[in-house]
Amino acid sequence: MTSTREDIFHELSDRGLLSDEEHIILVDGFESAFMGVSSAKPIRALYNYWKCLDYLIVQERMDFDTAVDNLDEFINQDLGVSSPIYIKEI
């Protein structure tokens, strides 16, 4: 089952992983790729790179090369200290 953004926020709050004073950036559409949060401050969302890529190919109907280019360009945008982290699991 895929979580929604609201589910993720509630789960983080319920587990005491995100306080009302903290800020986290969650990416629309990548909920199924959400892995958790960093343990270091500032808290950052962790995403599985390969699942994000799969989302772009399947849901957004991009070919592989276009999806890789778009994802890499998106990942390299400067969103500040709270930018999500994308992990290439091996």
44: left (phi over 0), alpha (psi -120 to 50) or beta: beta
Whether pTM > 0.85 for this model: the answer is yes
Angle at 16 between CA 11 and CA 2, to 5 degrees: 15
Rounded to whole angstroms, how far apart are CA atoms 53 and 7? Answer: 22
Would you write out the chain's pLDDT as a tens digit for each of its 90 residues? 458 999 999 999 999 998 888 889 999 999 999 999 999 999 999 999 999 999 999 999 999 999 999 999 999 999 999 999 999 999
Nearest one of 55, 3, 1, 47 to 24, comparing CA atoms? 47
Rounded to whole angstroms, how far apart are CA atoms 65 and 62? Answer: 8
